[in-house]
């Protein structure tokens, strides 16, 4: 009996829909609307090629979000590891296919749509870690041996993603994973020791583990100015565009920097710059406020939840969402190195939308199932 463990009575579908946190849905949709407007502007006032596509993707994303929201929370607990293994497998497949492929075949195959398992991993890793910690006791998490397994859970996808190489996603994955550890009440001294050990191991790893070409890749990440047309130039142009926006911006479709193509990738990673150029500080603050409100909702829903699984997943996803937009905006303002990370709900891109909507779906699902409690071992039944 699936629902026998629930203290809360079974909810009907109608009740679930009634219970949906509609104000959060409204916030998400408003943020996406800003995205459509900016993509319309990025194409010089055309709905093609980006805005229209993005709307369709968002619509599909909404449906998926609702489906996730009305699903049983028990389902996610039970299949967290399965999803993790599947996603890890996909990562391996990507690694494998990166190496082979006939030249002629690739060249003729123009209609291929790429799926990025590393994006999905952002959600799945949080589920898997929450699944591990959901029934842990305070004594458990103080034992180092208890932490070996979740550390492996986290390290495996990070390693694979680092080899892709995608430093941005790997760091984001690491940070949101560590946040789950932190929320699971792992003692502070372990984090401090871990940090020290991590820093101390950099030198031997550099000298003995990494191959020359891998070192070269890391160096390019750390010193983008090595690449004259690369990140350094982009960030300089991005700062000029952003700064010249002033308090209220140059006006919709009137961002000279963006429209004269000084600004690269304005529909993906640098879309915030375009927003700030055309709508100024006010426009930027509106978007930041929307993001902040979404975060607060995630935070409140997690705290209100009665079961530890939901608390960990909810806060984990909220943290990942925060890191995602924080790193992107800090990057385009020259505060962090350019690592290639889209602005959630706003940047053009299919997998990013899908991941974010699944994440919000889970938060809504936790909200609906906030009063459910699991018995220990519920995941295995």
Partner 1 sequence: MHRDNDRYKAYSRRAVLLLGGNVILLSGLIGRMYQLQIMEGERYKTLAEDNRINLKILAPPRGRILDRFGRPMAVNQRNYRALLVPENILNINTTIAALSQILNVTAREKKRIVREVKRRKRFSNIVIRENLSWRQVSQIEANALELPGVMIDVGESRFYPDGEASASILGYVGMVSEQEMVRDPLLQLPGFRVGKTGMEKVHDVALRGKGGTSQVEVNAFGREIRELSRIEGQRGSEAWLTIDNELQKFVSKRLGERPASAVVMDVHTGEVLALASTPSFDPNIFKKGLSQAEWKQLISNPHSPLNNKAISGQYAPGSVFKMVVALAALEKGVISKNFRVFCNGEMELGETFFHCWRIKGHGHMDLFNAIAQSCDVFFYEIALKTGIDHIAAMARRVGLGQKFKIELPGEKAGLVPTRAWKRNVKGTKWQKGETLLAGIGQGFILTTPLQMAVMISRLVNGGRLVVPSMTRTVVPFAGKPPEYTTPPSFKNMGVHASHLGLVRKAMVAAINSPFGTAYKARIKEPEFFMGGKTGTVQVRRISKTERESGVLKNKELAWNERDHAVFVGYAPLEIPKYAISVIVEHGGSGASTAAPVARDILLELQKRDPNSGSGAMQERREVRLEPKIQAKKFLREG
Residue 150 interacting with partner 1 (CB under 8 A):
no
Binding flag, residue 194, partner 1 (CB under 8 A): no
Nearest to 220 by CA among 210, 230, 211: 230
Closest CA to 321 of 289, 355, 349: 355
Q: Say how far apart CA 178 and CA 172 lie, in whole Å.
A: 10
Tokens at 364, concatenated? 């809504």
Binding footprint of partner 1, residue count (CB under 8 A): 68
340 near partner 1, rule: CB under 8 A: yes
Q: Does 260 bind partner 1 (CB under 8 A)?
A: yes
Measured from the CB atom, the residue of 337 and 340 that comes closer to partner 1 is: 340
User: For tokens 């296919």, what's the residue?
Assistant: 97
Rounded Cα–Cα distance for residues 51 and 207 (Å): 47
The reply to whether 218 sits near partner 1 by the rule CB under 8 A is no
> d(Cα 210, Cα 219) in Å, to the nearest integer?
12
- Which of 257, 347, 352, 356 is the binder for partner 1 (CB under 8 A)? 257
User: Looking only at residues 32 through 71 of this chain, which bind partner 1 when binding is defined by CB under 8 A?
Assistant: 44, 48-49
Among 63, 67, 109, 222, binds partner 1 (CB under 8 A): 109
Work out which of 114, 152, 189, 200 binds partner 1, going by CB under 8 A: 114
Cα diameter, the chain: 63
Shortest approach of partner 1 to residue 261 CB, angstroms? 5
Contact flag: residue 176 with partner 1 (CB under 8 A): no
By the rule CB under 8 A, 239 interacts with partner 1: yes
Is 71 in a helix, a strand, or coil?
coil
Q: What angle do CA 360, 303, 285 make, to 5 degrees?
A: 55
By the rule CB under 8 A, 108 interacts with partner 1: yes
d(CA 37, CA 39): 6
What is the C-alpha separation between 167 and 173, in angstroms, rounded? 10
CA angle 243, 246, 250 (to 5 degrees): 100
**Rounded to whole angstroms, how far apart are CA atoms 176 and 162?**
16
Residue 350 in contact with partner 1, rule: CB under 8 A: no
Q: Are 129 and 150 in contact (CB under 8 A)?
A: yes
Binding mask 266-305 for partner 1 (x = CB under 8 A): x---------x---xx--xx--x---x--x---x--xx--
Residue 213 as a binder of partner 1 (CB under 8 A): the answer is no
Determine, following the binding rule CB under 8 A, whether residue 242 of this chain makes contact with partner 1.
yes
Q: Give contact residues for partner 1 (rule: CB under 8 A).
A: 44, 48-49, 101-104, 106-110, 112, 114, 136-138, 179, 182-185, 227-230, 233, 237, 239-247, 256-257, 259-262, 264-266, 276, 280-281, 284-285, 288, 292, 295, 299, 302-303, 308, 311, 315, 319, 322, 326, 329-330, 333, 335, 340
């Amino acid at each position: 009996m699936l629902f026998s463990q629930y203290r809360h009575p079974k909810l009907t579908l109608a009740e679930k829909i009634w219970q949906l946190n509609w104000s959060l849905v409204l916030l998400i949709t408003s943020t996406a609307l800003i995205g459509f407007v900016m993509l319309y502007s990025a194409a010089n006032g055309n709905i093609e090629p980006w805005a229209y596509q993005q709307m369709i993707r968002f619509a599909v994303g909404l449906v998926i979000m609702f489906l996730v929201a009305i699903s049983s929370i028990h389902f996610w607990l039970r299949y967290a590891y399965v999803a993790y293994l599947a996603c890890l497998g996909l990562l391996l497949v990507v690694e494998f296919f990166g190496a082979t492929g006939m030249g002629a075949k690739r060249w003729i195959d123009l209609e291929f749509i790429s799926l990025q398992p590393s994006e999905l991993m952002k959600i799945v890793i949080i589920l898997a870690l929450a699944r591990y910690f959901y029934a842990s006791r305070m004594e458990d998490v103080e034992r180092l041996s208890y932490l070996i397994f979740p550390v492996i859970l986290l390290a495996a996808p990070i390693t694979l993603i680092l080899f892709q190489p995608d430093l941005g996603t790997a760091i984001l994955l690491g940070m949101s994973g560590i946040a789950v550890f932190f929320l699971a009440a792992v003692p502070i001294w372990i984090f401090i020791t871990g940090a020290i050990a991590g820093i101390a191991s950099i030198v031997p790893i550099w000298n003995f583990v990494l191959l020359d070409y891998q070192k070269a890749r890391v160096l390019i990440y750390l010193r983008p100015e090595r690449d004259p047309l690369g990140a350094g130039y982009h960030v300089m142009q991005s700062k000029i565009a952003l700064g010249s926006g002033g308090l209220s911006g140059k006006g919709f479709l009137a961002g000279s920097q963006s429209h004269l193509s000084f600004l690269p990738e304005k529909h993906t990673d640098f879309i915030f710059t375009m927003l700030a150029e055309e709508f100024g500080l006010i426009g930027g603050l509106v978007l930041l406020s929307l993001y902040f409100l979404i975060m607060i909702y995630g935070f409140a829903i997690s705290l209100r939840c009665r079961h530890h699984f939901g608390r960990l997943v909810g806060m984990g996803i909220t943290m990942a969402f925060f890191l995602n937009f924080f790193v992107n905006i800090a990057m385009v303002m020259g505060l962090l190195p350019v690592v290639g990370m889209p602005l959630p709900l706003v940047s053009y891109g299919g997998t990013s939308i899908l991941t974010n909507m699944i994440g919000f779906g889970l938060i809504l699902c936790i909200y609906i199932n906030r009063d459910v409690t699991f018995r220990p071992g519920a995941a295995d039944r």
